[in-house]
Structure 1
């Protein structure tokens, strides 16, 4: 049961549109959220995922604003986060409303519009639901800069990016107010899912608003206004900015967008979202923003605004000095050839031709080409994916490279074998055959990781930090 205080209810009554009722708001806020997931099309098609999971008791109800999103029910009760399909990144457990901002960001873009030089910024990324959704919509093309201010959450963000097979991402760890200064008019599209009071999350956390205080929200609003200004400065003319929150109050939503308009005037255009999906107009404000109340779509509360930058604006500060001591250098042609041969001969993987292979000490990394002009302008925590380490003789592939790069050659494991592999165990083979060295082991035709084929068993090479104590299997 949700815990409302009277001040919060009074504020909602003032904010609630005339066509919605307080009774419905309270009733829906006291209901648990429907379980929703997003299929990761970087690894599996929606059709194939439904075919894979339907025999396991899953039922799918499409989410209108996300072609890859579904409310799901499951006749077989297991903990989804411990399922093989989740651990290998075939789907992300994501609240339906939070799928709206990336959909709005790419509303008018086709996959053909995303190219090697496209740059997108996600200003507040952790834990990674929207970041990985954006990467999927970009089909791993171009560059996605994912920023997270909280140091403890950067690690979680990277783990989710790696699990979902994202290869076009660069991670940063800053107060996002710096982007307008450091990367002025750099990005084709920006998502600012701003820190907020979290009023819309009450169905997930009944105690979220127990001590709600409107005066405390004023400090949040000041931060939101500074962040949206920074986002607009970092956006290219002609680019699109999506501002979103899980707050319900006008002051954290519409008022922040109007503040941006007051600062940059005619350079700011509000883009109507009434046609984003069927019945989107039910949640639209007079400006064309989406103000989603829990009772409209039986979801979390959410706000989404799309803003178009019509013209260049004046830079607020001088360009910062270039940063030095970048630890990577382009790999030499001989090393690139050797690495390419290693990946092809061992795993039947063709390294992408439109990316840059970089070296740091004995490590080799795959960088998105679009990051090169940004190097020196800002410090990056991590760029692209780590491909391999150099050994005395040859190379040793990294787990994240296997998850992100596609190979048609894999050893398919059974349910029980896949469970054992994710629990860090070796896999015995029914017959002793000629050893094959490093091989990719897979489940549902998607990689789980690398094993060493010794002839009579598969020696587990799963990174220790990914080994799980418990894996949930569907008992059908």
Structure 2
């Protein structure tokens, strides 16, 4: 069992009382592994038909499944096709709880590495807009990669201080998700290295950070908007006390009840909140609450704005694309083509605006890896589709040149079992590999 500090053990014994022994016993349980299906690319039913893994439903999700550690889903072509995201099962709860509707404007305030943002994009289903933000520029790079693999166009990836965001976007967002930085007590089982940080910093270190984040977030939440606050810690100071702080600074705020799963514990003084303990569920520790700011308001209709790009090389490439774009504009920035959602990002620090489509080179256009992940097979008129067992799939993912029996010429969309992986350029049966170097199979 993990060597827990004595003062932590005392605190947990006071909190759990007669359940404390069961909590200690949970440290000898195996770690639970989960994947969540990308329903913007494939339905749950269709994924289960082609899945080679040993999957069991995670009971508090609609598209999450436990998998066996020996399955190794990160070493499968379907992972590179963006058909699922690997995520700790309890960490799926916050995005599941947030009642996102199509057309919503959503902020994921502490988004890296992207698990919750990708589920928000599932719920938006190509509509509305997500601002996926993380203050750490290095963590935001991983966030960007996971967002691009998910294949959505209605998202901005930002790396900005939330207090600065709040100065630009008062009363703006329909929904906000805050998975706050915390002391990580709920993850001691999965990642014992967090214990050292807990000893050095304790709980109070995070409280001021959490208060600043929720204060800024509440100012950005629309009247009638809803917000999830979550942590992966058991600390009352970082959970219920933060909820009390929010209620004190925002009188119109109210808690909404969460009814996901019978084995979740209720909050210490707020029964609407849920506490997830590893001795009660197959997953790590978590705290989640859902709040609403005043009464729900009617939503304005989205404005549709589409422009065309006057560039013969782009137009020639897009003659092969069978796809409709809406609620945004095409824009060339520094010889790169983007499709940018209708949202004013003002002066915030962005890693990516909308969908990066490709590069405008001299006398040619080269589509991006992100655009390949955005397309469906039927949306490009020149495709090569391999079975998942074909050894050329791995060779393609490693960046190698591959041979096929085909009379196609020019850009082709490389797929596995009908799901895009990336682009290549084909001539006389030889495919010159255009799979992005930073994405390759290792």
SS in structure 2 at match of 1:335 = coil
State which of 14, 35, 46 in structure 2 corresponds to 1:37: 35
User: Unaligned 5+ residue runs, structure 1?
Assistant: 313-329, 470-476
Alpha-carbon distance, 1:214 to partner = 9.0
State which of 371, 387, 395 in structure 2 corresponds to 1:420: 395
- Equivalent residue, structure 1, for 2:55: 60
Alpha-carbon distance, 1:283 to partner = 4.2
- Equivalent residue, structure 1, for 2:45: 47
Matches within 5 A, 1:59-78: 59-73=54-68, 77=70
Given that residues 244 and 302 in structure 1 are in contact (C-alpha distance below 8 angstroms), is that contact kept between their aligned partners in structure 2? Answer: yes
Superposed CA deviations along residues 127-151 of structure 1, whole A, max 9, x for unmatched, are 1111111111111321100111112
Are residues 336 and 194 of structure 1, via their aligned partners in 2, closer, same or farther at CA, if it must alter by over 3 Å?
A: farther
- Equivalent residue, structure 2, for 1:253: 239
- Equivalent residue, structure 1, for 2:341: 368
Given that residues 331 and 358 in structure 1 are in contact (C-alpha distance below 8 angstroms), is that contact kept between their aligned partners in structure 2? Answer: no
- Which stretch shifts more, 407-416 or 58-67? 407-416
User: In structure 2, how many angstroms separate the alpha carbons of the residues matched to 1:31 and 1:210?
Assistant: 21
User: In structure 1, how many angstroms separate the alpha carbons of the residues matched to 2:265 and 2:206?
Assistant: 28
- Equivalent residue, structure 2, for 1:237: 223
Q: How many residues align?
A: 428
Alpha-carbon distance, 1:358 to partner = 1.2
- Equivalent residue, structure 1, for 2:102: 114
Given that residues 306 and 328 in structure 2 are in contact (C-alpha distance below 8 angstroms), is that contact kept between their aligned partners in structure 1? Answer: no
Are residues 365 and 219 of structure 1, via their aligned partners in 2, closer, same or farther at CA, if it must alter by over 3 Å?
A: same
User: In structure 1, how many angstroms separate the alpha carbons of the residues matched to 2:197 and 2:91?
Assistant: 24
Alpha-carbon distance, 1:425 to partner = 1.0
Superposed CA deviations along residues 354-390 of structure 1, whole A, max 9, x for unmatched, are 3211121322101112x1xx23253433211111222
SS in structure 1 at match of 2:358 = strand
- Equivalent residue, structure 1, for 2:301: none
User: In structure 1, how many angstroms separate the alpha carbons of the residues matched to 2:178 and 2:431?
Assistant: 45
SS in structure 2 at match of 1:225 = helix
Alpha carbon RMSD of aligned pairs, Å?
A: 2.3
User: In structure 2, how many angstroms separate the alpha carbons of the residues matched to 1:311 and 1:88?
Assistant: 41
- 1:268 aligns to 2:253 (yes or no): yes
SS in structure 2 at match of 1:381 = strand
Superposed CA deviations along residues 170-202 of structure 1, whole A, max 9, x for unmatched, are 111122233332211110000010000000001
Are residues 361 and 86 of structure 1, via their aligned partners in 2, closer, same or farther at CA, if it must alter by over 3 Å?
A: same
- Equivalent residue, structure 2, for 1:126: 112
Given that residues 105 and 175 in structure 2 are in contact (C-alpha distance below 8 angstroms), is that contact kept between their aligned partners in structure 1? Answer: yes
State which of 140, 157, 168 in structure 2 corresponds to 1:154: 140
TM-score, normalised via structure 2 length: 0.91
Are residues 386 and 215 of structure 1, via their aligned partners in 2, closer, same or farther at CA, if it must alter by over 3 Å?
A: closer
Matches within 5 A, 1:56-455: 56=52, 58-73=53-68, 77=70, 79-106=72-99, 109=100, 113-115=101-103, 118-210=104-196, 212-213=198-199, 216-265=202-251, 267-273=252-258, 275=259, 277-279=260-262, 282-283=265-266, 285-287=268-270, 288-310=272-294, 333-335=308-310, 339=314, 342-343=317-318, 345-346=319-320, 348-369=321-342, 371=343, 374-376=344-346, 378-408=348-378, 409=381, 410-414=383-387, 415=389, 416-429=391-404, 431=405, 433-455=406-428
User: In structure 2, how many angstroms separate the alpha carbons of the residues matched to 1:127 and 1:154?
Assistant: 7
